[in-house]
Amino acid sequence: MLSTDSDILTTAEAWVREGRSVALATVTETWGSAPRPVGSHLVIDAEGNFLGSVSGGCVEGAVVSEAIDVIGDGKLRMLEFGVADETAWQVGLSCGGRIRVLVERVS
């Protein structure tokens, strides 16, 4: 069962209160077949712990990796994954869809 957006945002807030460095990934756009709708969230801490989902498969691994970089440098990133991208098969989007994910540091 996936966590609700409320659970994810509450967790992000709790992690920040605990002193963890945190990033939030949000699906901002989808085209074609996409596993998660616009507005879906994934919260990530600097240790790579996460809660939620923005896609599934290897996309989440790529987003977690980028989120750790965002936590480190504080610069938000807009990520795009899709079949037009040569890494589509590697990240699990061979279904024909594309997604755009915003990753930003939470403070």
- CA dist 56 and 88 (Å) reads 13
**Burial tier of 41 (Cβ tally within 10 Å: 0-12, 13-18, 19+):** buried
What's phi and psi for 37, nearest 5 deg? Answer: -80, 165
Q: How many CA atoms lie within 13 A of 100 on its CB side?
A: 6
Q: Which of 76, 83, 32, 26 is nearest to 55 (CA)?
A: 26
Question: 59 Cβ partners below 8 Å, 6+ apart?
Answer: 81, 91, 92, 93, 99
Query: What does each of the 107 residues of the chain score in pLDDT, given as a tens digit?
Result: 456 778 999 999 999 999 999 999 999 999 877 788 999 999 999 999 999 999 877 788 999 999 999 999 999 999 998 765 555 555 555 566 789 999 999 98
The pTM for the full model equals 0.85
- CA dist 79 and 55 (Å) reads 12
Question: How many domains does the chain contain in total?
Answer: 1
Domain encompassing residue 11: 5-106
